[in-house]
Amino acid sequence: MAQIELSAIRKSFDGTDVLKGIDFRVEDGEFISLVGPSGCGKSTLLRIIAGLEPQNSGQVHIDGRHVDGIRPSARNLAMVFQSYALYPHLSTFDNIAVPLRMRRLSAVERLPLLGALLPSRRAKERHIRADVAGIAEQLDITPLLRRKPGQLSGGQRQRVAVGRAMVREPLAFLFDEPLSNLDAKLRVHMRAELAELHRRLKATFVYVTHDQAEAMTMSSRIAVMMGGELIQAGTPAEIYNDPGDIRVAEFIGSPKINILPGRIRKDGGVDVLGTALKLSCSAAAGDCRVGVRPERIDLGAGPFSGTVVHLENLGAEAFVHLAIEGAGLRLIARLADVRHLPAMASSVAFGFAPDAVRVFDPAGKRIELRVEQAERIREPAHV
Q: How confident is the model at residue 379 (pLDDT cuts 50, 70, 90)?
A: very low
What's residue 373's pLDDT? 64
Q: How confident is the model at residue 375 (pLDDT cuts 50, 70, 90)?
A: very low
CB 344 within 8 A of CB 322: no
Q: β-pairing, 204-209 with 31-35?
A: parallel
- The 10s digit of each residue's pLDDT in 253-273 is 999 999 999 999 999 999 999
User: Who wins on pLDDT, 310 or 118?
Assistant: 310
- Our CA angle for 228, 233, 238, nearest 5°, is 140
What's residue 381's pLDDT? 39
Domain 256-371: state its class.
mainly beta
User: pTM for this one?
Assistant: 0.89
- The 10s digit of each residue's pLDDT in 168-196 is 899 999 999 998 888 888 889 889 999 99
Mean pLDDT on 84-109: 91
- The 10s digit of each residue's pLDDT in 353-366 is 999 999 999 999 99
> Which residue ranges does the chain devote to CATH 2.40.50.140?
256-371
User: Who wins on pLDDT, 377 or 213?
Assistant: 213
CB 222 within 8 A of CB 236: yes
- The 10s digit of each residue's pLDDT in 143-162 is 999 999 999 998 899 999 99
Which amino acid would we find at residue 289? R
What's residue 117's pLDDT? 72
CATH topology of domain 4-241: Rossmann fold (3.40.50)
> Which residue ranges does the chain devote to CATH 3.40.50.300?
4-241
Chain centroid, CA 334 distance in Å:
22
- The 10s digit of each residue's pLDDT in 20-30 is 999 999 999 99
- The 10s digit of each residue's pLDDT in 209-263 is 999 999 999 999 999 999 999 999 999 999 999 999 999 999 999 999 999 999 9
- The 10s digit of each residue's pLDDT in 38-62 is 999 999 999 999 999 999 999 999 9
Dump the DSSP string for 255-317: SPPEEEEEEE-TTSEEEETTEEEEEE-SSPSEEEEEEE-GGGPEEEEEEEEEEEEEEEE-SS-
Position 114 pLDDT exceeds 90:
no
Percent of the chain with pLDDT over 70: 97
List the beta strands (DSSP E) in 130-281: 172-176, 204-209, 221-226, 229-234, 258-264, 269-272, 275-280
Chain centroid, CA 274 distance in Å:
37
Q: β-pairing, 357-360 with 347-351?
A: unpaired
User: Who wins on pLDDT, 164 or 383?
Assistant: 164
CA distance 277 to 280: 8
